[in-house]
């Protein structure tokens, strides 16, 4: 279909929709960047300017290897104990800040994308809802007491023994991935 000038109406409508879409996305990107740099709750924390805009800087830093060295250098450069390393992330160099953030009395919300990477939805560790976490922790607290661990000591030793036998058997045939076993290390230390 064409208008009175012989210009196809659909082509001009499609072009105007595309132009509007490009302008809209560009405007959204600019507004989001301004918000993240100047109005975001973490905007008061120092760090590389590009880290405030997206996770791309953090990704590249991690890919380069040993990001802790870069974080340490930046802590010194910006003279701060809380360094902004992504739009919603801080790197802390002060033990006292960890105690404030990870205390049970004043819980900060956990980052769902980070905890979903553990692939253990709604476990005590990965639960991001403070009310659900508190409810689950209350049910499991007796198991984490000294008496609770001593009560399970036999089970822990048995399971650790089974794991060690499997590792010994498998290591004779080929290389083995002990990632999952290594993740249990803190728990196994409690029983030793």
- pLDDT in the model for residue 77: 97
CB 128 within 8 A of CB 112: yes
Asked whether the whole model's pTM tops 0.75, one would answer no
Please indicate whether residue 109 or residue 187 has the higher confidence score (pLDDT). 109
The structure tokens listed for 11 are 């082509």
pLDDT tens-digit readout, 1-18:
555 555 555 577 878 899
pLDDT tens-digit readout, 136-165:
889 988 988 889 888 988 998 998 899 889
- Counting residues of the chain whose pLDDT is more than 90, the rounded percentage is 40
Mean of pLDDT over the chain = 84
- pLDDT in the model for residue 9: 55
From 41-55, 63-77, 162-176, the region with the lowest mean pLDDT: 162-176
**Residue pointed to by tokens 């048995």:** 158
Q: How far apart are the C-alpha atoms of 107 and 130, rounded to whole Å?
A: 7
Q: How far apart are the C-alpha atoms of 33 and 109, rounded to whole Å?
A: 23
């Amino acid at each position: 279909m064409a208008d009175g000038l012989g210009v196809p109406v659909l082509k001009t409508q499609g072009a105007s929709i595309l132009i509007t879409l490009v302008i809209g996305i560009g405007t959204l990107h600019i507004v989001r960047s301004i918000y993240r740099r100047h109005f975001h709750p973490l905007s008061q924390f120092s760090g590389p300017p590009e880290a405030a805009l997206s996770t791309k800087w953090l990704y590249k830093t991690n890919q380069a290897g040993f990001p802790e060295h870069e974080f340490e250098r930046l802590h010194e450069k910006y003279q701060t104990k809380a360094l902004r390393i992504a739009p919603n992330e801080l790197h802390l160099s002060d033990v006292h800040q960890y105690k404030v953030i990870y205390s049970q009395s004043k819980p900060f919300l956990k980052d769902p994308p980070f905890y979903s990477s553990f692939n253990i939805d709604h476990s005590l560790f990965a639960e991001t809802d403070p009310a659900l976490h508190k409810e689950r922790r209350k049910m499991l607290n007796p198991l984490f007491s000294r008496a609770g661990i001593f009560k399970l000591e036999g089970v822990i030793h048995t399971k650790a023994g089974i794991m060690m036998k499997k590792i010994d058997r498998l290591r004779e045939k080929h290389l083995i991935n002990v990632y999952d076993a290594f993740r249990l290390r803190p728990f196994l230390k409690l029983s030793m």
